[in-house]
Structure formats: structure tokens, C-alpha cells
Amino acid sequence: MTGTLQSLREEALRTRRQHILNVDFETGRVWNTMEGMTIEELDLAMRRARPIPGGARVAGVEFPPETRVASGRAEIRFYGDGHSDKVLIHLQHGGAYSSFLLEPFLSQVKMFDYWVGFNDLR
């Protein structure tokens, strides 16, 4: 997950175009899109969706201050000027959880070996 998030940020900055990590909770799959894609390109990207490596599943996506998405789809945006949405991505591996914090202007993704929310970070 860390590599995917850092790669999307770098690609958005390199291309100066918005990139989006799309998370589908029903299928457990993720895929990337970017601004300016045609309907056909968006459809192809969605058909190329892939599961999270290692058998993990996305258990939730959290945006500050208190917006949590755990069903349907979530979109995490990476902007052409190098910043991104501030977001926590929660993965489940069997009975264990991990959380990934993406800060808008920091290039490194912070990983926690447990479920952490924005209120826990204060």
C-alpha cells in the first residue's frame, strides 16, 4: 500500500495531472485513474482493478474531520502540484488491522500496526 500511495503522488507531480486511487469495498479491489481519461479508458482501468496484495482487504477509508467510508467506493486524490488528500486507509489482515496515514504535503506514508483514527493522532 505504501508503495502505491507514494507512486501515485510522484506520478501526479510528474504529469501535473490529478490521479485517483479508487477503492471498491464490495469487490475488495483498487485501481488508478487520472483526470482527462476518456470513458473507455476509465472503464478499462476499472476492469484492470486488482486486489490488495497479501490477501488484505480495505476495511475503511477515513477523511478528516470525521468522514469514514466503509462501503461503496472511496476516491483518494493526488494533485498535480504534489499534494494529496489527507486520509487514513485501514487494512484488515485476518483479525489484525493496520492503518496508513497520507498527509497532504508529506511524501512519506506513515504506517501503524493497528487501527488508528484521526482522533488518536492528536
Report the percentage of the chain scoring pLDDT > 90. 77
pLDDT tens column, 15-49 = 999 999 999 999 989 999 999 999 999 999 999 99
Indicate the pLDDT class of residue 66, thresholds 50, 70 and 90.
Answer: confident
Q: pTM for the complete prediction?
A: 0.90
Pairwise CA distance, residues 77 & 18, whole Å: 7
Residues 6+ apart with CB under 8 A from 8: 19, 21, 32, 78, 84
So what's the pLDDT on residue 121?
85
Retrieve residue 112's grid coordinates: 501503524
Sole residue written with cell 497520507: 102
Domains and CATH numbers, the chain: 2-121 (3.55.40.10)
Q: Quick check: 81 pLDDT over 80?
A: yes
* Number of Cβ atoms within 10 Å of the Cβ of 58: 21
Going from the C-alpha of 72 to that of each of 27, 30, 100, 110, 112, the distances in angstroms are 9, 12, 20, 25, 24
